[in-house]
Amino acid sequence: MASTSATTSSDALRERFAALARQGRKALVPYITAGHPSPVLSITLLRALEEAGADVVEVGVPFSDPMADGPVIQASSQSALAQGMTFARTLDLVHEARLGVPVVLFSYLNPVIAAGPGALERAAAAGCHGILVTDLPVGVDPEREHWLGSGPLAFVRLVAPTTPDERMREIGSHGSGFVYLISRLGVTGARDDVPDELPSTLGRLRRATSLPICVGFGISNADQARRIGALADGIVVGSAIVRAAGEGIPVAARLASELRRALDAG
């Protein structure tokens, strides 16, 4: 595996968002569960999403107990695990897909710990540019947060509607790449509305950080993409893409194209 240099991995996200800002465009960030619908189809799916206009892709490392995820991502995780997916095999998929857009690993903490001390370097070498850890909020484990934040990958942190202003500033200063704003209380899963409090949460977060902000949780259709894209720097679409991928790669690609058009038209 060819190794990218230690600094370029995390820089890729910054450059991507800077380029989007220059063009006045918003980022489309689809999520897939590695190994779903199958390991081979994951690679096809990643390429199809890039083709459809994704700016960044999030690749989920499946976990046995995904407490922040709703039924669609739970089911995709269980299916991927049943097909033998692991942290290491997730990296293999990313490597094999050879995408031209930045890749952010999306994981629960335990599989990352189990992958061992060299995990971040191996991920960078496989073609990952960032990492997001669902169950590692800012400040809870300084040692592991330092490890994740000082390696070759951008360390993407999450902000929730319940996060107070002071904590938003702390999160902004401890993350890199972009900030992932959870649009609503609850677990992942497709919805068709835009939460009332989202504009005010986004406003609070804007004042707390200069990092790009991508909004996720519950985004599934073009109307939401347009409305949220008008406020944020990008949108993350998880369950809707995963569900579509379960129906067929072209279905997921069509959804990504629709979202792309909605963002660009917005």
Partner 1 sequence: MTATRFGAYGGQYVPETLMPALEELEVALAAAQADPAFTAELDHLLAEYVGRPTPLTSAPRFGERIGARVWLKREDLNHTGAHKINNTVGQALLAVRMGKRRIIAETGAGQHGVATATICARFGLACVVYMGEEDMRRQALNVYRMHLLGAKVVPVTSGTRTLKDATTEAIRDWVTNVRDSHYIIGSVVGPAPYPRMVREFQSVIGREARAQVLAQAGALPRTVVACVGGGSNAAGIFAGFVDDQGVELVGVEAAGRGLESGHHSASLTSGRPGVLHGSLSYLLQDEHGQVHPAHSISAGLDYPGVGPEHAWWKDSGRGTYVAVTDDEAIAGLGLLSRLEGIIPALETAHAIAWMDASRGRWTPDENVVVCVSGRGDKDVAQLSESGILPA
- The set of catalytic residues is 58, 69
Distance CA 209, CA 215 (A): 14
Q: Residue 30 interacts with partner 1 (CB under 8 A)?
A: no
Minimum CB separation of residue 7 from partner 1 in Å reads 27
Instruction: State which residue, 20 or 211, has the beta carbon closest to partner 1.
Output: 211
How many helices (H) and strands (E) the chain has is answered by 12, 8
Q: Which of 4, 44, 83, 110 binds partner 1 (CB under 8 A)?
A: 110
Helices 222-229 and 249-265: crossing angle in degrees, nearest 10, is 40
Minimum CB separation of residue 70 from partner 1 in Å reads 8
Residues in CB range of 260: below 8 A, 6 or more apart: 28, 52, 53, 54
Closest CA to 54 of 255, 260, 248: 260
Residue 191 CA to its chain's centroid (Å): 18
Q: Which of 17, 108, 155, 178 binds partner 1 (CB under 8 A)?
A: 108
Distance CA 122, CA 148 (A): 13
Q: Residue 246 interacts with partner 1 (CB under 8 A)?
A: no
Q: Residue 163 interacts with partner 1 (CB under 8 A)?
A: yes
Say which residue the tokens 């820089």 belong to: 11
Q: Residue 161 interacts with partner 1 (CB under 8 A)?
A: yes
Q: Residue 59 interacts with partner 1 (CB under 8 A)?
A: no
Distance CA 43, CA 24 (A): 30
Secondary structure (3-state) at 138 = coil
Q: Residue 83 interacts with partner 1 (CB under 8 A)?
A: no
Q: Residue 76 interacts with partner 1 (CB under 8 A)?
A: no
Q: Which of 112, 123, 198, 205 binds partner 1 (CB under 8 A)?
A: 112
The answer to whether 93 touches 123, Cβ cutoff 8 Å, is: no
Instruction: State which residue, 30 or 161, has the beta carbon closest to partner 1.
Output: 161
Instruction: State which residue, 126 or 249, has the beta carbon closest to partner 1.
Output: 126
Provide the β-strand partners of residue 216.
182
Tell me what percent of the chain is helix, strand and coil, each rounded to the nearest 5. Answer: 50, 15, 35
Minimum CB separation of residue 159 from partner 1 in Å reads 6
Instruction: State which residue, 160 or 222, has the beta carbon closest to partner 1.
Output: 160
Q: Which of 30, 37, 53, 66 binds partner 1 (CB under 8 A)?
A: 66
Footprint on this chain of partner 1 (rule: CB under 8 A): 63-68, 70, 74, 78, 81, 86-88, 108-115, 134-138, 140-141, 157-164, 167, 171, 182, 185-187
